[in-house]
Amino acid sequence: MGLVDPLSTLLSGIRAEGSVVSHAVLEAPWTIRFADGAPLTMVSVLRGGGTLRLPDGTERAVRAGDTAVVRGPDTFHLADGPTSFDRPHAEYEIACFTESAERTARNLGGIRWGNDPDGATALIVGAYHASSRRHERLLRGLPPVLVVSEDADVCAWLEQAAVDAALHSAGSQALMDRLLDWALVCTLRAWFAQARSDAPHWYRGMADPILSPALQAFHAQPSQRWTVAALAAQCGVSRALFAKRFTEIMGCPPLTYVTEYRMEEAEALLCETDLAIAQIAKSVGYADAFGFSAAFKRHRGLSPSVFRTTEA
């Protein structure tokens, strides 16, 4: 049985396919308004630094080597410093996924831009599309902004890759898409590892030596008939010890987690596939469509067929 982890599953719903990658080179004072409405926006500071201002007014300083991931969809800002918002400055807006996306893509996509080609601050900006409902669970586990630091070698390599892509040579869009996907995975993994108690419950569970075997087994085969005893057996501990530790680490009892995960997977399948209700029921661990429909309505307030029609 291959290893299956929730982070990989959740990241499958967030991709950089066709995203606009901006390479900004700026000299203070300047501000950038991010109006993408994207689920996630990543800003890597290659040189220099700045101040992020979130929708609630919270400010977070970023410096060379920092990569910030900002949770959408609300508009946020980045400036060379907090005082630049209130004095004359060069002002930019990035809105890759709005109605003016085509124009913005022509102006910014893969192109070095800014107010000074030799500016003290250089940034790589990537906005991510959501291609699956699974991304919502990932977003719920993230703070409004997270920041991870990289070393100078990584920054230099990233900037050179952006410069190469700006030449619009064959495969440049695919190169930047994969680069952004790689950067997001690395950044989130680094943050989860550092976050400790602030990391999502499912991530902490996967890192727990007792719970990890059970979570691996469940995520690999969610359609199996899982009981607390069966999950505990995967870990080689008693039901009582397993249930107690699971609730402490994961924030809910084992079977509550199992049911919630199955409902979220069912939502994704209802919205993203044409599978029959009976097929979806079987794939998420229910013996028949009737039992699945009753459980789904109890948890979501709508029958699977009504939910599918409404979400479509």
Helices (H), 114-251: 135-140, 152-166, 172-195, 201-207, 212-220, 228-235, 239-250
Please tell me the predicted confidence (pLDDT) of residue 35.
Answer: 85
| E strand or H helix that includes residue 103 | helix 101-108
The Cα 41–Cα 47 span in angstroms is 19
Q: Is the dihedral of CA 81, 34, 37, 174 positive or negative?
A: negative
DSSP assignment string, 251-263: SS-HHHHHHHHHH
Mean pLDDT estimate for the chain: 82
Residue 227 DSSP SS3: coil
Contact 117, 25 (CB under 8 A): yes
Please tell me the predicted confidence (pLDDT) of residue 227.
Answer: 96
Quote the longest CA-to-CA distance of the chain. Answer: 66
C-alpha triplet 55, 60, 65: angle, nearest 5°: 125
Contact 242, 232 (CB under 8 A): yes
The Cα 132–Cα 108 span in angstroms is 26
Strand order in the sheet with 59-63: 59-63, 49-53, 76-79, 30-34, 90-94
Contact 229, 265 (CB under 8 A): no
User: Burial code of 267-291, b = ≥16 C-beta within 10 A, e = fewer?
Assistant: bbbbeeeeeebeebbbbbbbeebee
Report which of 129, 140, 159, 155 is spatially closest to residue 63, judged by C-alpha positions. 155
Tallying the residues shown for the chain, one arrives at 312
For 178, counting Cβ atoms within 10 Å of its Cβ (0-12 exposed, 13-18 middle, 19+ buried), the class is middle
Whether this prediction's pTM lies above 0.75 is answered by yes
Q: Is the dihedral of CA 154, 200, 4, 129 positive or negative?
A: negative
Q: What is the rounded end-to-end Cα distance, in angstroms, of the chain?
A: 34
The Cα 148–Cα 43 span in angstroms is 11
Q: What is the mean pLDDT of each run of 10 residues along the chain (312 residues)?
A: 60 60 82 86 89 94 91 91 86 66 41 76 81 72 87 63 61 71 81 80 87 91 93 96 96 95 92 93 93 94 93 74
Please tell me the predicted confidence (pLDDT) of residue 157.
Answer: 64
Contact 54, 82 (CB under 8 A): no
Report which of 192, 108, 107, 114 is spatially closest to residue 146, judged by C-alpha positions. 192
The residue type of 232 is A
